[in-house]
Structure 1
Amino acid sequence: MTEPVPETLAEIREEFLALGQQQRLQLLLEFSNELPELPERYADAPELLERVEECQAPVFIFVEVDGGTVRMHATAPPEAPTTRGFASILAQGLTGLGVEEALAVPDDYPLTLGLTQAISPLRIRGMSALLGRAKRQIRQKAAA
């Protein structure tokens, strides 16, 4: 039994699980094209972004907590579509959640998308690291 996840992330997971392996990869590529642009305040201040070292490609994240609402920003190069797709899923899935709701996202969420047969374990670990770093930033900012 999978732990409950917030609605947006549950819908994304259902989208993936409704498809075959090849179509799942295609959907991940579509997500990579939907990664929201960084707000200008971060584009001009790269030192505010945290590099996720576990990812093979250079991916950076920054989480804001404003009034108890989470907003996740991420950047990854277009030539790393898998990583970009994962960052996009998390940015779209965590943004708009309350702090407790975001922190309650199961750590194994990346494993539940049905991509473990199509993508290397190293890449799945990268997505898990993205989620872990986002949650750490959420905890820090909520406590501040």
Structure 2
Amino acid sequence: MADLPPRLAELVEDFSAVGPKDRLQLLLELSQELPDLPERYADAADSMEQVHECQSPLFLAVEVEDGAAAPDRPVHLFFSAPPEAPTTRGFASIMHTGLDGESAADVLAVPDDFYVALGLGQAVSPLRLRGMAAMLARIKNQVRARTA
């Protein structure tokens, strides 16, 4: 898929290379790789934006480094999702692995429906996929706000 940062493209390839049942397993494995929050986000409900479209409580924060021209500034993503919500954590982990450290321009260039290429439509509900789309939309909104 065009316009994907390299690590996100690699994840899409990983998912498309396996069958539907293995895709769900891969998503669950990724859920365990979601990094812990730094101390500044310890109280996620007060310091992060909630993604209400997700079935489980998911909070995110976006930081954009200073210094470079706005489109080139690296983006850093932080997520909070409960361990008992592995699908939501897996989606957050995909976003973190694929987009953390990428430039603002590269994050904004990710197609809004890139998640379709993951092939998870047979493994998870459309409601869960809408949650993933909402995560990306919120990330992009925060990046735009911080680089305006």
Give the TM-score taking structure 1 as reference length: 0.95
Match of 2:23 in 1: 24
Match of 1:38 in 2: 37
Match of 1:115 in 2: 120
Tell me if the contact between 2:76 and 2:101 (Cα under 8 Å) persists in the aligned partners.
Answer: yes
Match of 2:79 in 1: 74
Could you list the per-position Cα deviations for residues 49-106 of structure 1 after superposition, in whole angstroms to 9, with x for gaps in the alignment? 0000000100000000003110000010111100100011101211111110110011
Could you list the per-position Cα deviations for residues 102-133 of structure 1 after superposition, in whole angstroms to 9, with x for gaps in the alignment? 10011001111010011100000000000000
* Corresponding residue SS for 2:63: strand
Match of 1:98 in 2: 103
Amino acid in the other structure paired with 1:70: V
Give the RMSD, CA atoms, in angstroms. Answer: 1.1
**Matched pairs, number:** 142
Structure 2 distance, partners of 1:96, 1:103, is: 13
Residue 44 of structure 1, CA deviation: 4.5
Structure 2 distance, partners of 1:58, 1:102, is: 23
Structure 2 distance, partners of 1:91, 1:123, is: 17
Could you list the per-position Cα deviations for residues 28-48 of structure 1 after superposition, in whole angstroms to 9, with x for gaps in the alignment? 001100001111111146412
Once superposed, which parts of structure 1, at least 4 consecutive aligned residues long, lie more than 6 Å away?
none
Structure 2 residue runs without a partner (length 5+): 67-72
Structure 1 residue runs without a partner (length 5+): none
